[in-house]
């Protein structure tokens, strides 16, 4: 009898020990070698370089941690992430887009409030943290530590402007059309469109342009009404903006193959095109190709001089809620808030989202100056603050508007119909 008791006690002790050790493992407090897996969808963008260098620097600081950065296909990245979350076989950390994208996938993300010291979070641009938190209120705690501040922005070739006799950068529609005329006469494609550099679809991504059209039509405080439907997509103001935008092609301001061109970035880099609307992720590419000839401008899609600029921390890293290495993953996120990380991000040609840091790229600095010196209003990326279904419909319909294949009214009606199909909980007067 005593023999059985001893055996039972030993077994219980063994079970307890196993339970304790597995519990320790899951909290990630082991000091043994750990491999931290990060998924990203950056492709060949500068963000990929920044992330790889961040991983290397982190490995130097934490000798027991190996960071495995996995590049996933951009086209179905979120579906892969979601599928991996179902089977809990995904990464420890994952690149996540901010705004409604974050909230859509928050079920498998960790809210970082209380997980990352408040002092570390305080180093991050509060406007950036806001767009990764429930109800877009930073007090609710972020799900994402932003990698960088991004701008949807226009780039122009100063030499082309000078050669064509365009004395100043256009600030409204009228000036833009006038500049186009001069640039075309000088032999340039004034504004180039195409899907180059866009991993998201076969056509160009219209939400950079639409963001600026909506800046020209509505103040930032009204943008939530585009989400709720209080400002219908079919409103006269929106239709008028799209109608003017569609004239860019019919007036010869763009290349003729806006829907099918694939080397539009190349046209700008080689100086064939004078302007293009893109984002900060390509700044380094342009400055490398064009040197001091390239500069940033705010796409002037407005009847009066444009007063706003898309300045938004569009992406960052989030921790999955099923990670087995939460301690190391949190350490990595904390590292992203440091000045050392900011230097690495800046070196990759990006704008760090850390307070008090700067950018050494003059074109990026010019973008920051639009807000800090020219006092332009910072707007979010429109596609990050309206419903994914509406973004999807817009992405399909809007390029055809510029191409002249469908009317602005038709495209906006499709977007409005898509909005109307959503349950009322997804188009409330406040964000979820």
Partner 1 sequence: MSVSEATPGLARGTSPGRPARPRRSRLARRRRRAGILLSLPAVIVVVALLGIPIGQAVYYSMTNWNGLTAQWIGPSTYTAALSDPIFWRVIENNALLLLSIPFAIGIPLAIAALLNEHVRGWRFFRSVYFLPTAVSWVVIGMVAVQFFALNGLLNKMLAAVGLGSVQTNLLAGQRTALLALAITFIWSMLGTNTIIFLTGMATLDPTLLEAARVDGLKRRQIFFRVTLPLLKRFVQFSFVITVISAFSALFSLIFVMTNGGPGFGTTTLEFFVYQSAFSLGQFGTGALYGIILFVIMIVVGLVQLRLIRSEDGEGW
Q: Which residues bind partner 1 (CB under 8 A)?
A: 75-76, 78-79, 82-83, 85-86, 104-105, 107-108, 201-203, 256-260, 388-389, 392-393, 396-397, 399-400, 403, 405-406, 411, 414, 417-418, 421, 423
Q: What CA–CA distance (Å, rounded) separates 11 from 44?
A: 54
Q: How far is the CB of 390 from partner 1 (least distance, A)?
A: 11
Q: How far is the CB of 100 from partner 1 (least distance, A)?
A: 12
Cβ closest to partner 1, residue 244 vs residue 393: 393
Q: What CA–CA distance (Å, rounded) separates 316 from 148?
A: 7
Cβ closest to partner 1, residue 164 vs residue 386: 386
**What is the C-alpha radius of gyration for the chain, rounded to an integer number of angstroms?**
24
Contact 82, 322 (CB under 8 A): no
Cβ closest to partner 1, residue 81 vs residue 363: 81
Q: How far is the CB of 171 from partner 1 (least distance, A)?
A: 31
Q: How far is the CB of 344 from partner 1 (least distance, A)?
A: 31
Least Cα distance to 96 among 86, 117, 113, 111 occurs for: 111
Cβ closest to partner 1, residue 195 vs residue 326: 195
Helix segments in 28-172, DSSP class H: 46-61, 77-87, 100-104, 118-121, 126-130, 158-164
Phi first, then psi: give them for residue 97, nearest 5 degrees.
-80, 150
Strand 93-97 vs strand 34-40: parallel, antiparallel, or unpaired?
Answer: parallel
Phi first, then psi: give them for residue 132, nearest 5 degrees.
-120, 15
351-369 b/e (C-beta count within 10 Å ≥ 16 → b): bbbbeebebebebbebbbe
Q: How far is the CB of 295 from partner 1 (least distance, A)?
A: 30
Cβ closest to partner 1, residue 157 vs residue 414: 414
Here the tokens at position 255 are: 């290349």
Contact 128, 146 (CB under 8 A): yes
Cβ closest to partner 1, residue 241 vs residue 416: 416
Q: How far is the CB of 376 from partner 1 (least distance, A)?
A: 33
Cβ closest to partner 1, residue 198 vs residue 377: 198
Q: What CA–CA distance (Å, rounded) separates 179 from 223?
A: 30
Q: How far is the CB of 86 from partner 1 (least distance, A)?
A: 6
Q: What CA–CA distance (Å, rounded) separates 342 from 350?
A: 9
Cβ closest to partner 1, residue 240 vs residue 406: 406
Cβ closest to partner 1, residue 53 vs residue 392: 392
Q: How far is the CB of 201 from partner 1 (least distance, A)?
A: 5
Phi first, then psi: give them for residue 320, nearest 5 degrees.
-70, 155
Q: How far is the CB of 225 from partner 1 (least distance, A)?
A: 23
Least Cα distance to 351 among 138, 147, 98, 70 occurs for: 147
DSSP string, 147-174: --BEEEEEEEEHHHHHHHT--S---SHH
């Amino acid at each position: 009898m005593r023999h059985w008791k001893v055996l039972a006690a030993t077994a219980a002790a063994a079970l307890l020990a196993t339970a304790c050790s597995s519990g320790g493992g899951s909290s990630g407090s082991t000091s043994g070698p750990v491999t931290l897996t990060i998924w990203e969808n950056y492709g060949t963008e500068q963000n990929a370089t920044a992330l790889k260098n961040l991983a290397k620097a982190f490995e130097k600081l934490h000798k027991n941690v190996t960071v495995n950065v996995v590049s996933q296909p951009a086209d179905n990245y979120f579906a892969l992430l979601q599928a991996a979350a179902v089977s809990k076989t995904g990464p420890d950390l994952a690149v996540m887009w901010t705004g409604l994208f974050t909230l859509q996938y928050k079920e498998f993300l960790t809210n970082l409030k209380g997980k990352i010291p408040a002092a570390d979070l305080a180093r991050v641009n509060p406007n950036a943290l806001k767009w990764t938190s429930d109800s877009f209120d930073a007090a609710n705690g972020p799900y994402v530590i932003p990698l960088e501040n991004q701008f949807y922005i226009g780039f122009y070739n100063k030499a082309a402007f000078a050669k064509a006799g365009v004395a100043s950068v256009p600030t409204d529609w009228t000036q833009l059309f006038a500049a186009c005329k001069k640039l075309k006469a000088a032999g340039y494609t004034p504004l180039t469109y195409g899907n180059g550099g866009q991993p998201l679809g076969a056509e160009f991504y219209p939400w950079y342009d639409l963001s600026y059209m909506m800046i020209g039509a509505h103040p930032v405080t009204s943008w939530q009404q585009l989400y709720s439907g209080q400002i219908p997509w079919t409103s006269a103001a929106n239709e008028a903006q799209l109608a003017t935008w569609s004239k860019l092609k019919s007036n010869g301001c763009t290349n003729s193959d806006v829907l099918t061109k694939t080397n539009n970035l190349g046209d700008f880099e080689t100086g064939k095109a004078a302007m293009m609307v893109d984002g900060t992720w390509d700044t380094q590419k342009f400055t490398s190709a064009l040197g001091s000839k390239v500069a940033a401008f705010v796409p002037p899609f407005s009847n009066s001089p444009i007063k706003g600029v898309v300045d938004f921390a569009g992406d960052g890293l989030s921790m999955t809620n099923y990670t087995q290495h939460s301690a190391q993953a949190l350490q990595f996120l904390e590292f992203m808030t440091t000045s050392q990380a900011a230097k690495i991000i800046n070196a990759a040609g990006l704008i760090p989202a850390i307070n008090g840091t700067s950018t050494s790229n003059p074109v990026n600095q010019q973008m920051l100056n639009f807000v800090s010196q020219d006092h332009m209003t910072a707007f979010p990326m429109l596609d990050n603050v309206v419903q994914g279904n509406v973004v999807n419909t817009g992405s399909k319909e809007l390029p055809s508007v510029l191409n002249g294949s469908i009317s602005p009214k038709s495209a906006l009606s499709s977007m409005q119909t898509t909005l109307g199909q959503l349950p009322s909980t997804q188009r409330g007067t406040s964000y979820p």
